[in-house]
Copies of this chain bind each other. A is one copy, B any other.
């Protein structure tokens, strides 16, 4: 096992040929590495190998690296098995890092895990299964690499290599730091989005006609696979329990303040909300850049949005983000273009000169 030189040359054994495992196989095959696949479901194996993600592993396989890509509930068992059956470096791509690590330590002893380094790609999971896989799934994404205290530096290097070959950017965290970070940036937002969405199920449907883009944005992620999220939330219980306790206290204070009209408390919540949105890093990991919004009325048929963006491109203004506002009543959508603050007025004038109806 070439830990010393650190180069990932394969073979790589991928355990679990779902969305993430199959995508990793496809990404590594781009670079010509040998990829071996395992899955308890033979249909997944057939699809993944048919897509070109690798070949079914045989019993005597001697991989350089094992990537465990199974659902959160099955991580401890699959990581333990990979460490016991192979001399290889082992990583996993689960959404939670501490609880599985502790369970593997309990099973094997802390001294036996130098070859294990956890990791977690920040890649989409709205769909699942090998048919949804893509070699490009990780392109440009952050990918947390989370060594524990006993991880061999050579093993960490090899996992960094995996991340790079998949087109992603490795970011270093301890397992606990990672879990606290994603509890805040992913798991808590998911749960509160679900609570906001849940309140909509109580409403008469006529009330929901007043839904605007705001509630659509807030609740969008709550549509994600509830079985996967159940496992993620359960596995990250310590970090989420602490955060949910803070939120419960926040809601208690806010409830009393709204009931009693205590404006200072409500204002403090709103001000902290504004500060929180500004704390999210901007594009490409830099500080958040000031962006302004320009609204444009766009007829709702194929080609019109393209024509708008073609005009914006010719005008030379980069569109940082875009929202389409779905409104009842008529077949014209309002499109919100987010562009650098100092370009909004220029873009507005130039688009209107081309016949678009806009407002700020």
Contact = CB atoms under 8 A, between A and B. Distances in A.
Interface of A: 23, 122, 124, 126-127, 131-137, 139-142, 144, 168-169, 171, 173, 177-178, 180-182, 184-186, 188-203, 205-212, 214-224, 226, 229-230, 233-234, 237, 240-241, 243-248, 250-252, 254-255, 258-259, 261, 263, 266-267, 269-286, 293, 295, 297, 300-314, 316-324, 326-334, 336, 357-360
A194 to B, nearest CB: 3
Contacts of A263: 230, 234
A6 B141 CA distance: 59
B320 A324 contact: yes
Contacts of A275: 197-198, 201
Nearest to A219: B277
A68 to B, nearest CB: 20
A130 B328 CA distance: 26
Q: How many copies does the complex hold?
A: 2
B273 A198 contact: yes
B240 A258 contact: yes
B251 A195 contact: yes
A interface, by DSSP: helix, strand, loop or mixed?
helix
Contact of A276 (B198, B246, B280): B198
A310 B302 contact: no
B285 A209 contact: yes
A329 B195 contact: no
A196 B188 contact: yes
A260 to B, nearest CB: 8
Nearest to A262: B234
A273 B193 contact: yes
Given A186-B212, A244-B255, A305-B313, A133 B280 contact: no
12 contacts: A134-B359, A134-B360, A139-B332, A188-B196, A197-B274, A201-B279, A205-B281, A217-B217, A222-B276, A248-B252, A303-B313, A307-B313
Given A186-B210, A217-B221, A359-B136, A328 B281 contact: yes
A349 to B, nearest CB: 13
Given A177-B207, A194-B270, A209-B285, 13 more contacts: A127-B293, A186-B215, A189-B215, A194-B273, A214-B220, A218-B221, A244-B251, A245-B255, A285-B327, A306-B306, A306-B313, A309-B310, A321-B326
Contact of A210 (B124, B171, B276): B171
A189 B244 CA distance: 17
A53 B176 CA distance: 58
Contacts of A336: 124
| Pairs of residues from A and B, 7 with the lowest C-beta to C-beta distance, nearest first | A134-B359, A285-B328, A194-B273, A197-B276, A303-B313, A169-B329, A306-B309
Contacts of A189: 196, 214-215, 218-219
B207 A190 contact: no
